[in-house]
Structure 1
Amino acid sequence: MKNLYPFSENKAVLSFVFSLFSVILLAQEQTPVPESKSIFWKKVQFGGGIGLSIGSGYTDVTLAPSAIYNFNKYVALGLGAQYTYVKQKNYYSSHLYGGSIIGLFNPIEEIQLSAELEQLRVNVDLDGSNSNSQDFWNTGLFLGAGYRTGNVTLGVRYNVLYDKNDYVYSDAFMPFVRVYF
Protein backbone atom coordinates (compact mmCIF):
# COMPACT_ATOMS: atom_id res chain seq x y z
CA MET A 1 0.00 0.00 0.00
CA LYS A 2 1.22 3.35 -0.94
CA ASN A 3 1.63 6.12 1.70
CA LEU A 4 -0.83 8.87 0.87
CA TYR A 5 1.06 11.38 3.04
CA PRO A 6 4.78 11.05 2.18
CA PHE A 7 5.74 14.14 4.14
CA SER A 8 4.23 12.98 7.45
CA GLU A 9 7.24 10.75 8.22
CA ASN A 10 9.56 13.68 7.54
CA LYS A 11 7.48 15.88 9.81
CA ALA A 12 7.68 13.35 12.60
CA VAL A 13 11.47 13.05 12.25
CA LEU A 14 11.87 16.84 12.06
CA SER A 15 9.67 17.30 15.13
CA PHE A 16 11.72 14.74 17.04
CA VAL A 17 15.07 16.36 16.04
CA PHE A 18 13.76 19.86 16.84
CA SER A 19 12.53 18.72 20.27
CA LEU A 20 15.83 17.02 21.05
CA PHE A 21 17.79 20.08 19.91
CA SER A 22 15.57 22.35 22.09
CA VAL A 23 16.19 20.17 25.15
CA ILE A 24 19.95 20.33 24.53
CA LEU A 25 19.79 24.12 24.20
CA LEU A 26 17.78 24.44 27.40
CA ALA A 27 20.33 22.29 29.19
CA GLN A 28 23.00 24.77 28.11
CA GLU A 29 21.09 27.73 29.56
CA GLN A 30 23.25 29.42 32.16
CA THR A 31 22.11 29.49 35.72
CA PRO A 32 22.70 32.68 37.68
CA VAL A 33 26.24 32.85 39.05
CA PRO A 34 26.33 33.51 42.79
CA GLU A 35 27.93 36.81 43.73
CA SER A 36 31.66 36.50 44.21
CA LYS A 37 31.71 38.75 47.30
CA SER A 38 31.08 37.02 50.58
CA ILE A 39 28.90 38.59 53.25
CA PHE A 40 32.08 39.60 55.12
CA TRP A 41 33.46 41.69 52.25
CA LYS A 42 30.11 43.40 51.70
CA LYS A 43 30.48 44.87 55.19
CA VAL A 44 34.07 46.11 54.72
CA GLN A 45 34.81 49.70 53.71
CA PHE A 46 38.19 51.11 52.69
CA GLY A 47 39.34 54.68 53.09
CA GLY A 48 41.76 56.77 55.04
CA GLY A 49 43.51 60.06 54.62
CA ILE A 50 46.15 61.87 52.64
CA GLY A 51 47.78 65.03 53.92
CA LEU A 52 50.12 67.57 52.37
CA SER A 53 51.40 70.82 53.86
CA ILE A 54 54.20 72.79 52.20
CA GLY A 55 55.49 76.30 52.78
CA SER A 56 58.38 78.46 54.05
CA GLY A 57 60.87 75.60 54.27
CA TYR A 58 58.31 73.29 55.91
CA THR A 59 57.05 70.01 54.44
CA ASP A 60 54.54 67.58 55.93
CA VAL A 61 53.32 64.58 53.90
CA THR A 62 51.00 61.91 55.35
CA LEU A 63 49.51 58.72 53.93
CA ALA A 64 47.06 56.85 56.18
CA PRO A 65 45.01 54.03 54.60
CA SER A 66 42.46 52.17 56.70
CA ALA A 67 39.64 49.65 56.55
CA ILE A 68 36.57 49.16 58.74
CA TYR A 69 34.10 46.34 59.23
CA ASN A 70 30.49 47.43 59.76
CA PHE A 71 28.86 45.10 62.28
CA ASN A 72 25.58 46.94 61.74
CA LYS A 73 24.47 50.51 60.91
CA TYR A 74 25.59 51.71 64.35
CA VAL A 75 28.95 50.04 65.09
CA ALA A 76 32.14 49.57 63.04
CA LEU A 77 35.67 48.48 63.96
CA GLY A 78 38.79 48.82 61.84
CA LEU A 79 42.54 48.91 61.36
CA GLY A 80 44.75 51.59 59.89
CA ALA A 81 48.35 52.26 58.94
CA GLN A 82 50.15 55.59 58.83
CA TYR A 83 53.32 57.08 57.42
CA THR A 84 54.28 60.74 57.85
CA TYR A 85 57.34 62.66 56.72
CA VAL A 86 57.95 66.08 58.27
CA LYS A 87 60.86 68.43 57.55
CA GLN A 88 61.62 71.93 58.79
CA LYS A 89 64.51 73.33 56.73
CA ASN A 90 67.73 73.82 58.75
CA TYR A 91 66.08 72.43 61.88
CA TYR A 92 64.88 68.80 61.73
CA SER A 93 63.36 65.99 59.70
CA SER A 94 61.15 63.24 61.02
CA HIS A 95 59.60 59.94 59.93
CA LEU A 96 56.55 58.62 61.76
CA TYR A 97 55.04 55.23 60.99
CA GLY A 98 52.72 52.82 62.72
CA GLY A 99 49.20 51.56 63.02
CA SER A 100 45.90 52.09 64.73
CA ILE A 101 42.68 50.43 65.81
CA ILE A 102 39.50 52.48 65.43
CA GLY A 103 36.00 51.99 66.75
CA LEU A 104 33.10 53.98 65.31
CA PHE A 105 29.64 54.46 66.80
CA ASN A 106 26.79 56.17 64.93
CA PRO A 107 23.93 56.80 67.39
CA ILE A 108 22.07 58.52 64.54
CA GLU A 109 22.98 58.64 60.85
CA GLU A 110 24.48 62.17 60.97
CA ILE A 111 26.58 61.81 64.15
CA GLN A 112 29.71 59.67 64.46
CA LEU A 113 31.59 59.08 67.72
CA SER A 114 35.01 57.47 67.59
CA ALA A 115 37.77 56.01 69.72
CA GLU A 116 41.15 55.34 68.13
CA LEU A 117 44.27 53.82 69.64
CA GLU A 118 47.36 54.78 67.64
CA GLN A 119 50.92 53.50 68.03
CA LEU A 120 53.64 55.37 66.09
CA ARG A 121 57.38 54.92 65.83
CA VAL A 122 58.95 58.38 65.69
CA ASN A 123 62.42 59.05 64.22
CA VAL A 124 63.61 62.65 64.59
CA ASP A 125 66.92 63.83 63.09
CA LEU A 126 68.02 67.29 64.17
CA ASP A 127 69.99 69.00 61.40
CA GLY A 128 73.69 69.40 62.11
CA SER A 129 73.68 67.20 65.19
CA ASN A 130 73.41 63.42 65.09
CA SER A 131 73.80 63.25 68.88
CA ASN A 132 70.39 64.89 69.36
CA SER A 133 68.52 62.49 67.11
CA GLN A 134 65.62 60.70 68.78
CA ASP A 135 63.82 57.41 68.19
CA PHE A 136 60.83 56.58 70.34
CA TRP A 137 57.32 55.12 70.38
CA ASN A 138 54.31 57.38 70.85
CA THR A 139 50.88 56.15 71.87
CA GLY A 140 47.78 58.22 71.28
CA LEU A 141 44.24 57.55 72.43
CA PHE A 142 41.84 59.76 70.49
CA LEU A 143 38.20 60.31 71.38
CA GLY A 144 36.29 62.10 68.65
CA ALA A 145 32.96 63.33 67.39
CA GLY A 146 31.92 64.36 63.91
CA TYR A 147 29.15 65.21 61.51
CA ARG A 148 28.59 62.47 58.94
CA THR A 149 27.10 62.83 55.47
CA GLY A 150 27.28 59.81 53.19
CA ASN A 151 30.81 58.35 53.30
CA VAL A 152 32.44 61.51 54.73
CA THR A 153 32.74 62.56 58.37
CA LEU A 154 34.04 65.99 59.49
CA GLY A 155 34.95 66.37 63.13
CA VAL A 156 37.43 66.87 65.90
CA ARG A 157 39.25 64.38 68.10
CA TYR A 158 41.07 64.75 71.41
CA ASN A 159 44.22 62.84 72.39
CA VAL A 160 43.70 61.92 76.05
CA LEU A 161 47.37 60.75 76.25
CA TYR A 162 48.76 64.01 74.81
CA ASP A 163 52.21 65.03 76.08
CA LYS A 164 53.67 68.29 74.75
CA ASN A 165 57.20 66.88 75.21
CA ASP A 166 56.70 64.03 72.68
CA TYR A 167 57.31 66.24 69.60
CA VAL A 168 54.56 64.39 67.76
CA TYR A 169 51.45 66.57 67.94
CA SER A 170 51.39 70.30 68.64
CA ASP A 171 47.99 70.13 70.38
CA ALA A 172 45.70 67.55 71.98
CA PHE A 173 42.78 68.63 69.77
CA MET A 174 42.93 67.68 66.09
CA PRO A 175 40.38 68.23 63.33
CA PHE A 176 39.77 65.31 60.99
CA VAL A 177 38.11 64.35 57.71
CA ARG A 178 37.30 60.64 57.53
CA VAL A 179 36.28 59.02 54.22
CA TYR A 180 35.24 55.40 53.65
CA PHE A 181 34.04 53.82 50.40
Structure 2
Amino acid sequence: MKKNTFPTIAKIIFLIVLFATPICILAQEKPLPKAKTGQFWEHVQFGGGFGLALGNEYTDITIAPTAIYNFNDHFAFGTGLQYSNLKQKNYYSSNVYGGNLIGLYSPIEEIQFSVELEEVNVNNKYTDLGGNYKRSFWNTGLFVGGGYQEGGITIGARLNLLFDKNKDIYGSAFMPFVRVFF
Protein backbone atom coordinates (compact mmCIF):
# COMPACT_ATOMS: atom_id res chain seq x y z
CA MET A 1 0.00 0.00 0.00
CA LYS A 2 1.40 3.38 -1.00
CA LYS A 3 1.67 5.97 1.75
CA ASN A 4 -0.08 9.29 1.16
CA THR A 5 2.73 11.81 0.60
CA PHE A 6 0.45 14.87 0.39
CA PRO A 7 0.89 15.90 4.06
CA THR A 8 4.70 15.72 3.69
CA ILE A 9 4.64 17.74 0.46
CA ALA A 10 2.28 20.28 2.04
CA LYS A 11 4.66 20.66 5.01
CA ILE A 12 7.64 21.22 2.70
CA ILE A 13 5.79 23.85 0.65
CA PHE A 14 4.54 25.58 3.81
CA LEU A 15 8.05 25.73 5.30
CA ILE A 16 9.63 27.01 2.10
CA VAL A 17 7.02 29.77 1.84
CA LEU A 18 7.40 30.54 5.55
CA PHE A 19 11.15 31.03 5.29
CA ALA A 20 11.24 32.56 1.80
CA THR A 21 8.66 35.30 2.52
CA PRO A 22 10.78 37.24 5.06
CA ILE A 23 13.77 36.95 2.73
CA CYS A 24 11.78 38.41 -0.17
CA ILE A 25 10.39 41.21 2.02
CA LEU A 26 13.80 42.13 3.45
CA ALA A 27 15.38 41.96 0.01
CA GLN A 28 13.12 44.86 -1.05
CA GLU A 29 14.72 47.24 1.46
CA LYS A 30 17.68 48.09 -0.75
CA PRO A 31 17.83 47.43 -4.48
CA LEU A 32 20.77 45.35 -5.61
CA PRO A 33 23.22 47.04 -7.97
CA LYS A 34 23.12 45.85 -11.55
CA ALA A 35 25.78 43.28 -12.28
CA LYS A 36 28.59 44.26 -14.60
CA THR A 37 30.23 41.82 -16.97
CA GLY A 38 32.50 39.48 -15.01
CA GLN A 39 31.12 40.64 -11.65
CA PHE A 40 29.13 37.41 -11.13
CA TRP A 41 32.16 35.39 -10.04
CA GLU A 42 33.14 38.03 -7.48
CA HIS A 43 30.00 37.08 -5.51
CA VAL A 44 30.53 33.30 -5.68
CA GLN A 45 32.14 31.37 -2.83
CA PHE A 46 33.17 27.73 -2.81
CA GLY A 47 33.52 25.48 0.19
CA GLY A 48 31.78 22.59 1.84
CA GLY A 49 32.91 19.79 4.05
CA PHE A 50 35.18 16.78 4.26
CA GLY A 51 35.03 14.08 6.88
CA LEU A 52 37.26 11.12 7.67
CA ALA A 53 36.82 8.68 10.52
CA LEU A 54 39.01 5.60 10.87
CA GLY A 55 38.81 2.92 13.51
CA ASN A 56 39.29 -0.78 14.13
CA GLU A 57 37.97 -2.24 10.85
CA TYR A 58 35.82 0.90 10.40
CA THR A 59 36.00 3.64 7.75
CA ASP A 60 33.77 6.67 7.14
CA ILE A 61 34.62 9.12 4.34
CA THR A 62 32.44 12.10 3.38
CA ILE A 63 32.98 14.70 0.66
CA ALA A 64 30.49 17.57 0.31
CA PRO A 65 31.48 20.46 -2.00
CA THR A 66 29.21 23.53 -2.04
CA ALA A 67 28.98 26.79 -3.99
CA ILE A 68 26.98 29.85 -2.93
CA TYR A 69 26.17 33.18 -4.55
CA ASN A 70 26.18 36.20 -2.20
CA PHE A 71 23.39 38.57 -3.24
CA ASN A 72 24.57 41.11 -0.66
CA ASP A 73 26.08 41.14 2.85
CA HIS A 74 23.00 39.43 4.31
CA PHE A 75 21.67 36.87 1.78
CA ALA A 76 23.26 33.96 -0.09
CA PHE A 77 21.87 30.98 -1.97
CA GLY A 78 23.69 27.92 -3.25
CA THR A 79 23.83 24.28 -4.11
CA GLY A 80 25.99 21.34 -3.17
CA LEU A 81 26.78 17.70 -3.72
CA GLN A 82 27.36 14.99 -1.16
CA TYR A 83 29.00 11.57 -1.15
CA SER A 84 29.62 9.33 1.86
CA ASN A 85 31.08 5.84 2.11
CA LEU A 86 30.86 3.97 5.39
CA LYS A 87 32.18 0.46 6.07
CA GLN A 88 32.31 -1.80 9.12
CA LYS A 89 34.26 -4.94 8.13
CA ASN A 90 32.15 -8.13 7.98
CA TYR A 91 29.02 -6.25 9.03
CA TYR A 92 27.86 -3.19 7.10
CA SER A 93 28.59 -0.91 4.16
CA SER A 94 26.77 2.18 2.93
CA ASN A 95 27.05 4.58 -0.01
CA VAL A 96 25.12 7.84 0.20
CA TYR A 97 25.03 10.39 -2.63
CA GLY A 98 22.88 13.33 -3.56
CA GLY A 99 22.57 17.08 -3.52
CA ASN A 100 21.19 20.03 -1.65
CA LEU A 101 19.97 23.61 -1.94
CA ILE A 102 20.92 26.08 0.79
CA GLY A 103 19.78 29.57 1.69
CA LEU A 104 21.80 31.67 4.14
CA TYR A 105 20.80 34.82 6.03
CA SER A 106 23.17 36.85 8.20
CA PRO A 107 21.36 39.63 10.10
CA ILE A 108 24.75 40.70 11.51
CA GLU A 109 28.24 39.66 10.52
CA GLU A 110 28.69 37.14 13.36
CA ILE A 111 25.35 35.31 13.07
CA GLN A 112 24.19 33.04 10.22
CA PHE A 113 20.81 31.34 9.80
CA SER A 114 20.23 28.65 7.18
CA VAL A 115 17.51 26.69 5.44
CA GLU A 116 18.67 23.60 3.55
CA LEU A 117 16.81 21.06 1.44
CA GLU A 118 18.73 17.79 1.01
CA GLU A 119 17.89 14.79 -1.19
CA VAL A 120 20.18 11.76 -0.98
CA ASN A 121 20.12 8.19 -2.23
CA VAL A 122 21.10 5.62 0.39
CA ASN A 123 22.43 2.16 -0.52
CA ASN A 124 23.03 -0.07 2.51
CA LYS A 125 24.39 -3.60 2.55
CA TYR A 126 24.32 -5.75 5.69
CA THR A 127 26.52 -8.85 5.65
CA ASP A 128 26.17 -10.04 9.26
CA LEU A 129 22.48 -10.99 9.16
CA GLY A 130 22.84 -14.58 7.96
CA GLY A 131 23.53 -13.55 4.37
CA ASN A 132 23.52 -10.44 2.26
CA TYR A 133 20.69 -8.00 2.85
CA LYS A 134 20.49 -4.82 0.75
CA ARG A 135 18.32 -1.76 1.25
CA SER A 136 18.19 1.28 -1.05
CA PHE A 137 16.01 4.34 -0.62
CA TRP A 138 15.82 8.11 -1.09
CA ASN A 139 15.93 10.33 1.99
CA THR A 140 14.74 13.95 2.11
CA GLY A 141 15.84 16.38 4.80
CA LEU A 142 14.67 19.93 5.44
CA PHE A 143 17.07 21.59 7.85
CA VAL A 144 16.82 24.91 9.66
CA GLY A 145 19.89 26.05 11.53
CA GLY A 146 21.97 28.79 12.95
CA GLY A 147 25.49 29.45 14.00
CA TYR A 148 28.32 31.79 14.82
CA GLN A 149 30.48 32.85 11.88
CA GLU A 150 33.96 34.30 11.75
CA GLY A 151 35.38 34.97 8.32
CA GLY A 152 34.39 32.06 6.07
CA ILE A 153 33.81 29.58 8.92
CA THR A 154 30.45 28.98 10.62
CA ILE A 155 30.00 26.71 13.65
CA GLY A 156 26.45 25.87 14.58
CA ALA A 157 23.63 23.36 14.63
CA ARG A 158 20.72 22.43 12.41
CA LEU A 159 17.42 20.62 12.93
CA ASN A 160 15.85 18.26 10.37
CA LEU A 161 12.15 19.14 10.28
CA LEU A 162 11.36 15.98 8.27
CA PHE A 163 13.20 13.60 10.59
CA ASP A 164 11.64 10.14 10.96
CA LYS A 165 13.60 7.82 13.27
CA ASN A 166 12.27 4.74 11.43
CA LYS A 167 13.40 5.87 7.95
CA ASP A 168 16.07 8.51 8.32
CA ILE A 169 19.77 7.93 7.69
CA TYR A 170 20.73 10.22 10.56
CA GLY A 171 20.61 9.11 14.18
CA SER A 172 19.00 12.34 15.38
CA ALA A 173 17.05 15.32 14.03
CA PHE A 174 19.59 17.65 15.71
CA MET A 175 22.99 17.92 14.04
CA PRO A 176 26.00 20.15 14.77
CA PHE A 177 27.93 21.47 11.76
CA VAL A 178 31.04 23.34 10.66
CA ARG A 179 30.58 25.18 7.34
CA VAL A 180 33.60 26.61 5.48
CA PHE A 181 33.61 28.95 2.44
CA PHE A 182 36.53 30.58 0.65
TM-score bin (small chain): 0.7 to 0.9
Partner Cα distance (1:148, 1:107) in 2: 12
Alignment of 1:1-181 (within 5 A): 38-128=38-128, 129-130=131-132, 132-166=133-167, 168-181=169-182
Where does the alignment leave 5 or more consecutive residues of structure 2 unmatched? 1-36
CA RMSD of aligned residues (A): 1.2
CA offsets 1:69-89 (integer angstroms, 9 cap, x no match): 000000000000000001122
> Matched residue of 1:166: which SS?
coil
Q: How high is the TM-score relative to the length of structure 1? A: 0.77
For the pair shown, the structure with the greater C-alpha radius of gyration is 1
Q: 2: distance between equivalents of 1:158 and 1:90?
A: 33
2:121, 2:137 within 8 Å by CA — same for their partners in 1? yes
Amino acid at match of 1:133: K
Structure 1 residues 29-48: Cα deviation after superposition (integer angstroms, max 9, x where no partner):
xxxxxxxx811100000000
Q: TM-score, normalised by structure 2?
A: 0.76
Q: How far has the Cα of 1:59 moved from its partner?
A: 1.5
Q: Distance in 2 between matches of 1:91 and 1:164?
A: 21
Which residue of the partner structure matches residue 22 of structure 1? none
1:114-153 CA deviation, whole Å, 9 max, x = no partner? Answer: 01000000000111533x2101000001111000000100
Equivalent residues of 2:124, 2:134 under 8 A apart:
yes
The ranges of structure 1 where at least 4 consecutive aligned residues each deviate by more than 4 angstroms after the TM superposition are: none
Matched residue SS, 1:165 = coil
Alignment length (residue pairs): 144
Deviation at 1:54, TM superposition (A): 1.4
Q: Which runs of 5 or more residues in structure 1 are unaligned? A: 1-36
Between the two proteins, what is the percent identity of the paired residues?
58
Aligned mates of 2:62, 2:159 — CA distance in 1: 19
Shift of the alpha carbon at 1:167?
5.1
Matched residue type, 1:142:
F
Name the aligned partner's letter for residue 157 of structure 1: R
Question: CA 1:56 to 1:165, structure 2 compared with 1: closer, same or farther past 3 Å?
Answer: farther
CA 89–166 in structure 1, closer or farther in 2 if over 3 Å, else same: farther
Alpha-carbon distance in structure 1 between the residues aligned to 2:75 and 2:58: 39
